[in-house]
Amino acid sequence: MNLSAKCLSANILSPHDDGFDLHDTFDWYIRTFQERTGIRCEAKCRLQNRIAGGRQATAIFQIFEEILINIARHSAATKVCVSLGDHAGVMILRVTDNGKGISGECLGSNGFQGLTGMREYARLCGGEFRINTGPDKGTTVIVSIPVRRDKVRECRIKDGGGTSRK
């Protein structure tokens, strides 16, 4: 199934909207991505702390959204694995696909919506953006962004993947 970026991002709950919750929004977006693209997704969200909206949550979500749009447009992947967690005050996003990989010339592109823009957005939040790719070996993107403590809400994870707020 072909995916239009406008189609995928239409009606998404923005991190700037009231009620934005990073965990729930990731979960919803992954399900929507899978339904609209036919690309099978495996996702693990292991946030030790519930991350509220804010600059860091916005950055990691927008980078995540761009990664998935690029996978749908360019990778020819049939499977995507997503992991979102936090450790020692840092949110860590890992996205791996089984697609065709990214060519060397694309890795050096300068478009804001491309890899350079995602890398810069992570850097502006004090984070890092790393990519591992090779022809016909898929791509793994790892984004790590520090979380400000005043933007954290406690929660505990129940069995079965649900969450319960304290």
Q: Which domains does the chain have, with CATH numbers?
A: 15-159 (3.30.565.10)
Instruction: State the pLDDT at residue 26.
Output: 87
* Lowest pLDDT segment from 6-20, 39-53, 64-78: 6-20
Q: Give how far the C-alpha of residue 146 lies from the chain's centroid of Cα atoms, to the nearest Å.
A: 15
Closest CA to 56 of 130, 124, 142, 157: 124
Residues 6+ apart with CB under 8 A from 122: 59, 63, 128, 129, 143, 144, 145
Sign of torsion over alpha carbons 58, 63, 64, 66:
positive
Q: How far apart are CA 86 and CA 153, in angstroms?
A: 13
2-32 pLDDT, tens per residue?
444 444 444 444 444 555 677 788 888 999 9
Cα 87 to the chain's mean position, in Å? Answer: 16
The per-residue pLDDT for 132 is 94
pLDDT in tens, 73-108: 999 999 999 999 988 889 999 999 999 998 766 665
